[in-house]
Amino acid sequence: MLQSCRAWVGCFLLGVVPAGVAGDAEKSVDAWLKQMVQSVHTLSYEGTFVYLHNTQLETMQIAHAANGDQEQERIFSLNGAAREVIRSQNSVICVLPDAKSVSVTKHRKTDRRFPSVLPVNISRLSDYYDFRLLGEARIANREAVVIGVIPRDPLRYGYRLFLDVNHALPLKTDTINEEGEMVSQIMFTSLRVTPSLQTISPTLHHGKSGYTWVHPKPAQEISTSADANWKFKQLPQGFQLQVRTKRSASLSEKEMEHFVFSDGLATLSVYFEKADDENGLRKASKMGAVNVFGTQVSGYQVTVVGEVPAQTVRTVANSIEYSAVSSVQ
Amino acid sequence: MTENIREEISALLDDELSHEEIDQTLSQLSEQEQLRSTWDRYNLISDVIRGEAGGRVSPSLADQVRAQVDAEPAILAAPKPAQSAPAWVKPLAGTAVAASVAVLAVMAAPQLLTPDAKISPQVATVKMAEPSYAQLASVPPTQNFHLANSVQYRVRPVVVTQPAARWSTQYSGTRWKNLAKPATENRLNKYLVDHSEYATQAPVRGVVPYATFVGYDARQ
């Protein structure tokens, strides 16, 4: 035993100094991130990843099919309730076996949602994040380059990305909070790039008879320049309004207005609904890296949701003011 | 500390000592705080050279060594300069010592599953959320050496605050924190799904929001 220990100590503590890193590391962070964005959307791949947030560990399968400019994607939980989210150009389908329901959200044609992707604009992002090439690693038996995305203020998360050297697919993504703690880690345990995968077969074929089918009314996009009754007094620097939608009231749902802000990496949503019940959130909550904060402003339930630190959603929520400007133009 | 011990540590790292000498050096190590920091320093240097995080040496070794020195814990060096990057930026700093400790621990006690980051002095600034972790973390590194090298198994104290809640599968799922009303949770879930659609457009892959939702535990 001691002999083997000694061998291990020798091997691990001293190790062999391998040859220097080859050409790939010379590629700029900019180039890596651009390739990542491209690959994530234009390649077909299948894999299994683990998702650790706080102390909770999940295993999920992902399948992504790219066919020309068409994309489909399925995320399927391998533990607990067999939840599933299927995204495509036209819809997002959530299968919730535990709630015995299937929710189908159709997109309107005018929506500039999936698959449109925000381009990586490093020069703009550089005002809010520092990008660094950190080294190399091995994840899911693949060689990876490690990129650090370091926020310049404590109002956004940092990221450590482990990108596959061949395709720049993110094999591991660490999300790191303002304390330097990892709030979530996503790591592939296996990943295959499968060019032959062109469509994802729906899994809604059997056993769904007792399910409730829900068809939420799609929201309508409003011009971001249109006057809003809502004033956001304290958005973190660089967060700009990306999308604004409004959903009119239906039998099952109230009128809702939704603002999406982004600094180019992090995304923050603000939801407004008439506060006419006791179910609105009036405090902070969180799940994994997602923080939410709810409050009431001028008779409205205001809920801020985002993959940003708790402080950020709270500050944004508490800085929202109502001003009686006509929003109808 | 004597020059002799320094040499022995160095020799240990170079795998030049006999079994007896290893035992002797390690037991000295585990007894003397100052020596332990020397051990850590040697480990750090060794890990840096090997490029622990990447398993190989990256081009800017000098930069990394400098970064490593900046990131050294208080017992090793003066406070790090204010403008240095956060500790997690340096994968070498975060994992270097932990990995060595892990190797040692794994050899003697494969069941030792405590995250090594919690033990490593390098990561001593990590906040402890759970009392049990705090207690685990307070176990000095010394005991790891005992564990690893003298095979003195020691049962770590674990504080179980709310036995029923902590161990029941009913509470083990992913849920919104500090919420009790199903209707509120339901609404947040809708927001989350909706938000995820937009978050997925961001360059840093928005798989997280959906993953969060897929993993959501609806059990009450």
- A232-275 pLDDT tens trace: 999 999 998 988 888 877 766 778 899 999 888 888 999 999 88
- In this complex, the residue of B13, B181, B213 whose CB is nearest that of residue A279 is B181
State whether A14 and B46 contact (CB < 8 Å). yes
With a CB cutoff of 8 Å and minimum separation 6, the contacts of A221 are A108, A110, A111, A112, A243, A244, A245
State whether B192 and A287 contact (CB < 8 Å). yes
CB-CB contact of B192 with A290 (8 Å): yes
Residue A228 or residue B55, greater confidence? A228
Closest residue of B to A81, CA-based? B217
CB-CB contact of B117 with B126 (8 Å): yes
- In this complex, the residue of B56, B205, B213 whose CB is nearest that of residue A173 is B205
Q: State residue A297's pLDDT score.
A: 92
Mean of pLDDT values over A223-238: 85
Residue A140 or residue B129, greater confidence? A140
State whether A266 and B103 contact (CB < 8 Å). no
CA distance A273 to A247: 10
Distance (Å) from the alpha carbon of A17 to chain B's nearest alpha carbon: 6
Q: State residue B68's pLDDT score.
A: 55
CA distance A327 to A244: 12
Residue A73 or residue B176, greater confidence? A73
CA distance B45 to A13: 10
Q: What's the DSSP call for residue A124?
A: H
ipTM above 0.85, yes or no: no
Closest residue of B to A266, CA-based? B202
Contacts of A96 in chain B (CB under 8 A): 218
State whether B15 and A10 contact (CB < 8 Å). yes
With a CB cutoff of 8 Å and minimum separation 6, the contacts of A135 are A145, A146, B51, B53, B54, B58, B64, B91, B92
Q: State residue A212's pLDDT score.
A: 77
Q: Using only C-alpha atoms, what is the Rg of chain A?
A: 22
Q: Is the pLDDT of residue B32 over 80?
A: no
Closest residue of B to A289, CA-based? B208
The pair of structure tokens assigned to A142 is 């693949």
Model confidence band, residue A222 (pLDDT cutoffs 50, 70, 90): confident
End-to-end Cα separation, chain A, in angstroms: 80
Mean of pLDDT values over A122-150: 89
Helix (H, G, I), strand (E, B) or coil at A247: strand
> Is-above-0.90 flag for pTM?
no
CA distance B214 to B220: 17
Q: What's the DSSP call for residue B216?
A: B
State whether B176 and A287 contact (CB < 8 Å). yes
Q: State residue A91's pLDDT score.
A: 79
Closest residue of B to A171, CA-based? B205
CA distance A301 to B193: 18
Distance (Å) from the alpha carbon of A78 to chain B's nearest alpha carbon: 9
Helix (H, G, I), strand (E, B) or coil at A175: strand
Of the given ranges (A133-137, A257-261, A317-321, B70-74), which has the lowest mean pLDDT?
B70-74
User: For testing the chain B interface, which of A254, A287, A291 should be mutated: the one with the most B CBs within 10 Å?
Assistant: A287
Contacts of A16 in chain B (CB under 8 A): 50
CB-CB contact of A172 with A162 (8 Å): yes
**A with B: how many residue pairs have Cβ under 8 Å apart?**
275
Distance (Å) from the alpha carbon of B1 to chain A's nearest alpha carbon: 22
Residue A158, CB-side half-sphere exposure with 13 Å CA sphere: 26
Mean pLDDT of chain A: 80
With a CB cutoff of 8 Å and minimum separation 6, the contacts of B122 are B40, B44, B71, B72, B73, B93, B94, B96, B97, B98
State whether A150 and B86 contact (CB < 8 Å). yes
State whether A6 and B15 contact (CB < 8 Å). yes
Q: Which residue has the tokens 């809640």?
A: B165
CB-CB contact of B199 with B172 (8 Å): no
Q: State residue B16's pLDDT score.
A: 66
Helix (H, G, I), strand (E, B) or coil at A11: helix
Q: State residue A44's pLDDT score.
A: 93
Closest residue of A to B182, CA-based? A279
Q: Is residue B60 exposed (0-12), middle (13-18) or buried (19+ Cβ within 10 Å)?
A: middle
Q: Is residue B48 exposed (0-12), middle (13-18) or buried (19+ Cβ within 10 Å)?
A: buried
- In this complex, the residue of A14, A288, A306 whose CB is nearest that of residue B15 is A14
Distance (Å) from the alpha carbon of A252 to chain B's nearest alpha carbon: 12
Of the given ranges (A117-121, A130-134, A177-181, A213-217), which has the lowest mean pLDDT?
A117-121
The pair of structure tokens assigned to B6 is 């320094």
- In this complex, the residue of B14, B46, B198 whose CB is nearest that of residue A267 is B198
Distances from the Cα of A271 to the Cα of A144, A278, A320, B201, angstroms:
38, 16, 11, 19
